Chain A
């Protein structure tokens, strides 16, 4: 944090912060500015993502989606937010008033604190903690505390169900999430998010995901467990709307309710950013070394763009999964965690150790193996896109036969 503030100060005033007098005041001001910027980003990301997700869902479900408020409905999330702010802040009868009021703060702070250690580009990170990844795991655990508080204090059995499911889910999925990152940490030798990205390369075969079959398994495990920690379908058990009415937030209304979905959408960024920074190369720009990257402002912005694009792709895949898959059952969820994910992780950790000993990163054989892994991964993506294309064209021909017009229209336009 201090170095970044200093850099910014030097950039603005051409003198180091220490010599300017009032240095502590400046630091505090910078802390507030950076915190405000992060909060601004997170809140806006959550809002805009809610709109985008609804539009994507509409496209998947052959519906229209929100298109009334603002041009093409782009201000729908603002309208929703204002509507929820104006709602009555209702506390159910015989609820635990204090816990009920305080629970959303835990969810809110647990999630937004994670943004402190998330990088956005080369050197663009609020605090490059040397325990970055560990910090993110630890701080996001506050969310489950908030959820349990909210579910317990609501004086509703459905909310209690949701809270207990959430406890079971997040506590069991913390383990595969942490275990599946150990190969990355071993390869990097650091927990800092910046160091993890710096250890990778810009080109796909220099990413950790294609390092070995074991890291590939870990990548899949990490993605699944991140979905589970973010309460996304197929693991949205805590708020399974068809089973538990609305789960832990059943009794909430107004702004206190707004915090929960907002945190969920902000969590989408945390999930996707974690996936892309640990396994998908983060902000590394292809064909540009870190030395050249650090020298040029344009290239730093390019690195931000690369990171945002990678993260957005992961966000899109998470959304697509949500609107395609059904929900698993509680026992299946824990079974998946303990009988598949955790053992796979343990095997993969040992496997990565051996792989690192036999094929060190710089050797030519390792590069060849990485290229092979990349080929397999590419084939996998190709198959994925082919399936979507196949089903889309099937649906398209069926629709054209019936209605004699094409179902396609550009993504920015609605009928």
Chain B
């Protein structure tokens, strides 16, 4: 524990003699990566939990300044390894809007299809890992099996199973064949009934509901004040989805709902709401996929882009609705072939900020549930 943080902890730590400081992580099985929490507890009850981020900082933003515009795309995969497609997407959106490149419509549809598949895959891991944290290992493995099908499809689409690098400035890297379209339809036919089966297995399980309902309630006001995004914000009952309010790509052509938390089993904004919103979002993604597959037009998959891309002095902010909420990139160009500055905004980082406020008075086991329900991915926090 660094000395500076000890000082921060001390006034509270000395308040009761019964308190002890618990170092949770960075090698704890349920911190979802290399994350550290300094937990002040009295027995099992948490008095204070301080997230200590930075163990996975790789300086991706700085790397962008050393790499060409097109060469940075593989780095964006590494921002969020569970939902690499969104980081790809937001980066190419930023570059395209700076360089004023028109993307062919087929390419935009392909992007949406890839993104929605990736969203399903990411939510599968998220909800499965939450069940794993609660102590049920079977749902996780079942979801991994379904995710394997998505990985196979992804491999057919873009050649990679995890770090896709599918997007290109001005389009996508490969076209999809009719066989892949059929495969995705087949997967959806198989997958949609499985969601109900999964719900029967774990979502409506009495022990599971009791572990999550009324735990770590985030009020709508808090959710906005702490800058939560994505399913965490929607779990608190706020209808906010970048796909609806600032429709990028071709999302305005699809008809889909934004599931929000309603206090499904407990009160609004508890862990169960955040969990169940993700399950509902998986269903919505399936419907978006079906629409996109049926409407996909013919045409090019990539606009004509100069091999060596130089962008005149300008700046822009692009954002997409990632699996973990709004993912934004602020890109500044200075006329050279490299970005002058890139700032990445991610959902997990803001989600970490609320842990300290919500975790007071929880049990140690609830903190695990809270971290799981916030769906933090360690590399996305630190970049």
Contacts and interface: CB of A to CB of B under 8 A. Distances in A.
B134 A401 contact: no
Contact of B189 (A244, A395, A401): A401
Given A242-B30, A242-B368, A329-B363, A398 B194 contact: yes
B22 A157 contact: yes
B197 A394 contact: yes
Q: Chain B interface residue count: which class?
A: 35 or more
Contacts of B197: 391, 394-395, 398
Contacts of B137: 57, 61, 323
B167 to A, nearest CB: 28
B183 to A, nearest CB: 10
B141 A327 contact: no
19 contacts: A61-B137, A61-B142, A62-B145, A157-B22, A233-B135, A240-B365, A241-B29, A243-B364, A243-B368, A245-B28, A326-B131, A326-B135, A326-B205, A327-B134, A328-B207, A329-B366, A332-B211, A391-B201, A398-B193
A327 B368 CA distance: 12
Contacts of A324: 136, 138, 201
A265 interface: no
Contacts of A325: 135-136, 205, 207
Nearest 9 Cβ contacts at the A-B interface? A327-B135, A61-B141, A326-B136, A402-B190, A326-B134, A242-B30, A326-B135, A242-B133, A326-B208
Interface residues of A, number: 35
B34 interface: no
Interface in B170-199: 186-187, 189-190, 193-194, 197
Contacts of B132: 242
Contacts of B208: 326
B190 A401 contact: yes
Interface in B10-34: 20, 22, 28-30
Nearest to A404: B186
A128 interface: no
| Contact residues of A: prevailing secondary structure | loop
Contacts, number: 95
Interface of A: 57, 60-63, 157, 161, 164-165, 233-234, 236, 240-245, 323-332, 391, 394-395, 398-399, 401-402
Contacts of B364: 161, 243-244
Contacts of A245: 28-29
Contact of A63 (B22, B141, B205, B366): B141
Given A161-B44, A242-B30, A242-B133, A61 B365 contact: no
A331 B211 CA distance: 11
Contacts of A402: 149, 186-187, 190
B343 interface: no
Contacts of B28: 245
A326 B43 CA distance: 23
Contacts of B58: none
Contacts of A244: 364
B365 A329 contact: yes
B207 A326 contact: yes
B242 interface: no
Given A236-B135, A242-B135, A391-B197, A328 B211 contact: yes
